Amino acid sequence: MADNSFSDGIPSDSLEAAKNASNTEKLADQVMQNPQVLAALQERLDSVSHTPSSYIETLPKAVKRRINALKQLQVKCAHIEAKFYEEVHDLERKYAALYQPLFDKRREFITGDAEPTDAESEWHSENEEEDKLAGDIKNKAVIAEKEAAAAEEPNPKGIPEFWFTIFRNVDMLSELVQEYDEPILKHLQDIKVKFSDPGQPMSFVLEFHFESNDYFTNSVLTKTYKMKSEPDKADPFSFEGPEIVDCDGCTIDWKKGKNVTVKTIKKKQKHKGRGTVRTITKQVPNDSFFNFFSPLKASGDGESLDEDSEFTLASDFEIGHFFRERIVPRAVLYFTGEAIEDDDNKEPSQPSECKQQ
Of 25 and 103, more confident? 103
pLDDT in tens, 1-60: 445 444 455 555 655 655 565 666 666 566 556 777 666 666 665 655 567 777 888 888
User: Whole-angstrom Cα distance, residue 206 to residue 224?
Assistant: 6
Rounded average pLDDT over 338-343: 82
User: What integer pLDDT is reported at residue 356 of this predicted model?
Assistant: 47
Question: 252 phi and psi, to 5 degrees?
Answer: -95, 125
The pLDDT > 90 percentage for the chain reads 50
Task: State the pLDDT confidence band at 244, using cuts at 50, 70 and 90.
Answer: confident
Residue 141 has pLDDT above 60, yes or no: no
Segment 327-331 long-range contacts (CB within 8 Å, at least 24 positions apart):
327/166, 327/170, 327/191, 328/103, 328/191, 328/192, 328/193, 328/206, 329/99, 331/106, 331/162, 331/163, 331/166, 331/191
Per-residue pLDDT tens over the stretch 297-331: 876 655 677 788 888 888 999 999 999 999 999 99
Which segment of 137-151, 152-166, 213-227, 258-272 scores lowest on mean pLDDT? 137-151
Q: For residue 323, give the nearest of 103, 109, 173 by alpha carbon.
A: 173
Q: Is pLDDT at 237 greater than 70 in this prediction?
A: yes
List, for residues 157-204, the tens digit of each pLDDT value: 999 999 999 999 999 999 999 999 999 999 999 999 999 998 899 999
Judged by average pLDDT, the poorest of 241-245, 264-268, 325-329 is 264-268
State the fold for domain 86-116+158-259+290-298+305-336.
Answer: Arylsulfatase, C-terminal domain (3.30.1120)
- Between 134 and 285, where is the model more confident? 285
Contact 239, 259 (CB under 8 A): no
- Residue 6: what pLDDT? 45
For residue 320, what pLDDT is reported?
Answer: 95
For residue 324, what are the CA distances in angstroms to 40, 195, 249, 284, 320?
Answer: 51, 10, 16, 31, 6
Mean residue pLDDT of the chain comes to 82
pTM, rounded to two decimals: 0.73
Domain-wise residue ranges, the chain: 20-58, 86-116+158-259+290-298+305-336
Kindly indicate the confidence band of residue 207, based on its pLDDT and cuts at 50, 70 and 90.
Answer: very high
pLDDT of residue 154: 81
Dihedral angle sign, alpha carbons of residues 258, 262, 267, 269:
negative
Q: What is the pLDDT of residue 357?
A: 46
Given a cut of 90, whether residue 143 has pLDDT beyond it is no
The mean pLDDT value for 52-76 works out to: 89
pLDDT of amino acid 159: 96
